[in-house]
Amino acid sequence: MEKEKKVEIKYQVLQWGPCIVHLKISEEFQQKLLKGAEEARKENKDFRDNLAGIIKEEYAYENRADYVDEISQFLTVYDEAYQKFKNEKYKVKPEYLLNALWVNYMKKNEYNPPHDHSDFLSFVIFLKVPEEITREQEQFVGNSAGPGSLSFLYGDGNRQSITYQSVKPKDRDIFIFPAWIKHYVAPFYSDVTRISVSGNISNSVLLNQIKRIDQNEGK
């Protein structure tokens, strides 16, 4: 008896929704950002008036240009990923400007409600994630990603549609995403502090021009 010949069926799944890219920063860049965060905290560069978070300590980095070289590398990777995501090359290559950079010292019971940002792209870098939060997530019982998770929301639909993505951040994680995407951060309940850095990017000028622009504008 002849075996039934297997027919190969080719298929393609259409990409849908936003392009969100996850990378890791270097330990060197992590320490550089932590140092700048402590300086902003010491000088009390309070940034809360510009933010949606229910967080008591959020401070602006004073010299954004100091971090442009590293951030530009991540945006280059994002551009490559985005073009693959859309299966289409850029007609005009984006030119970027780092408009805002701030640090969040998030403590127990604090959180970020669902919100979006202005500008073109946003990112969040997790500099210090205490083990207590990881243990909370491991012990959590429920359908969500649990305490301290970061969630992105997009679109309407039933359970056959993917309308959100949730992640459990670790040290040195960076997530880059379209600024218009609704996102939120769930609270955690351990008596610890998680340190993260967020930034907003517009698509107006090249990142390598920011240092010159900031100097001309007196930072």
Q: Is the pTM of this model over 0.85?
A: yes
pLDDT value at residue 156: 83
- Dump pLDDT digits (tens) for 47-56: 999 999 999 9
What is the distance between the alpha carbons of residues 182 and 117, in angstroms, rounded to a whole number?
Answer: 8
Confidence class for position 216, pLDDT limits 50, 70, 90: very low
- Has residue 8 been placed in a domain? no
- Has residue 12 been placed in a domain? no
SS3 124: strand
Structure tokens at 147: 């305490």
Confidence class for position 205, pLDDT limits 50, 70, 90: low
Confidence class for position 2, pLDDT limits 50, 70, 90: low
Query: What is the arithmetic mean of pLDDT over 83-97?
Result: 92
**Percent of the chain whose pLDDT exceeds 70:** 91
- Has residue 6 been placed in a domain? no
State the chain's mean pLDDT as an integer. Answer: 91
pLDDT value at residue 159: 79
Query: What is the arithmetic mean of pLDDT over 4-10?
Result: 83
Distance from CA of residue 89 to its chain's centroid?
A: 23
The arrangement of strands across the sheet holding 21-24 comes to 21-24, 173-178, 121-128, 193-202, 97-107, 57-60
- Has residue 210 been placed in a domain? yes
- Greater confidence (29 vs 158) lies with 29
Confidence class for position 1, pLDDT limits 50, 70, 90: low
pLDDT over 90 at 219, yes or no: no
- Dump pLDDT digits (tens) for 102-161: 999 999 999 999 999 989 999 999 999 999 999 999 999 998 899 999 999 998 877 788
pLDDT value at residue 160: 83
Q: Which domain holds residue 42?
A: 21-216
Query: What is the arithmetic mean of pLDDT over 161-180?
Result: 95
pLDDT over 50 at 40, yes or no: yes
pLDDT value at residue 3: 66
For residue 94, the domain's CATH number is 2.60.120.620
Type of residue found at 181: I
- Has residue 5 been placed in a domain? no
CA 1 vs CA 4, 59, 186: distances in Å: 9, 75, 60
The arrangement of strands across the sheet holding 182-185 comes to 112-115, 182-185, 150-153, 164-167
pLDDT value at residue 15: 80
What is the distance between the alpha carbons of residues 13 and 138, in angstroms, rounded to a whole number?
Answer: 32
pLDDT value at residue 214: 47
> What is the total count of domains within the chain?
1
- Has residue 32 been placed in a domain? yes
- Has residue 202 been placed in a domain? yes
- Has residue 198 been placed in a domain? yes
User: How many separate helices (H) and strands (E) can be counted in the chain?
Assistant: 4, 10
